[in-house]
Amino acid sequence: MKKITVFTKNNCMQCKMTKKFLTAHNIAFEEKNINVNPEYVDYLKDQGFHAVPVVEINGESSIAGFRPDALKQLAV
């Protein structure tokens, strides 16, 4: 089973849409909110990201932004 982590922040429409999409497609994920845990900001910057949402798959490949085309492949 894939381990999905979604990095989010408060009041982020793309973050809400990403979480809603994953939930609607029964894809389990762990949410890490950068407002609640600011240490994730440095982690994301080290990975080359400057905005959320970031969806991390198995701690390796990542999807930046709300990308339903890429998220659909997680349901397979």
User: What is the pLDDT confidence band of residue 47, given thresholds at 50, 70 and 90?
Assistant: very high
User: What is the pLDDT confidence band of residue 59, given thresholds at 50, 70 and 90?
Assistant: confident
In the chain, the domains with their CATH numbers are: 4-74 (3.40.30.10)
Q: From CA 50, how far away is CA 41, in angstroms rounded?
A: 8
Q: How many residues does the chain have?
A: 76
- 10-45 tens-digit pLDDT: 999 999 999 999 999 999 999 999 999 999 999 999
Exposed / middle / buried, residue 9 (Cβ in 10 Å: 0-12, 13-18, 19+)? middle
